[in-house]
Structure 1
Amino acid sequence: MSGSERDPVELGVELLAHLEHGELSVADALDRIETVTTNPQVQREILDTAVMRGIVEREDGMVRPRSQGTYVEFESDVVVREGDFTCQRCGSAIGTGHFVQFEGGELGPFGSTCIRKVLGRES
């Protein structure tokens, strides 16, 4: 896979592995997954893969991370670049893009407010 290609399932699973909340509704988890893909089949595959690998538990409409403390660190895991971008979450034009660095690839760009929402720092 080249640097510009990314596996949406792996990125989505990594995003779920870094949840900062003790639990999220499936709807809130899907809101985060939508930053990786809007394809409903791939979204389901992401959630199913995360459950199968033991990264999250899914029960009674809730998603719970199985490990704590693997949060994204803004200082080391988020790269900020200047340029002309479109926020991957809200679609707004932004001049400063925030990109999350995962092993499976880069997720972003996001604006300063949306990056906090994607990572669970604010609702």
Structure 2
Amino acid sequence: MSDQQVPDRVVATDAAVQLLTKLSELHGGLMIHQSGGCCDGSAPMCYPVGEFRVGQRDVLVGEIALPEPIPDVRVWINGDQFELWKHTQLILDVVKGRGAGFSLEAPEGVRFLSRARAFREEENQTLAAHPPLTGAALGV
């Protein structure tokens, strides 16, 4: 795998893109934070941009493109959790059910769900040469 083919650390299903588009139309720009536990377990949480404080050790795993002119959705993960998951591609999906009370999709009767695909060895090698940015590096 060449340096030009860095695999995405995060992708989204069509259902997730559709829900993010709907939520963006209602709430403006969005961000996702893959929580590292506590009251909501390890769940992807959706917030309006600026309503969740990204930590300096949080890792920007990627962005999910939405239809123009809606801005892309940045996806963050806790730094410690990233170390455990860095060998997997995060797949953002949507399932029926009650989500976390703090996440924007909660009133929709669905919730975001993280799935994962293990990167192949050559993908891991490429990704190791292209580390993701942290909140500190981005000055957040």
Give the alignment's TM-score, normalised by structure 1.
0.28
The structure with more helix, counted as a fraction of residues: 1
* Relative contact order higher in (CA < 8 Å, ≥ 6 apart): 2
Give the alignment's TM-score, normalised by structure 2.
0.26
Structure of higher CA gyration radius:
2
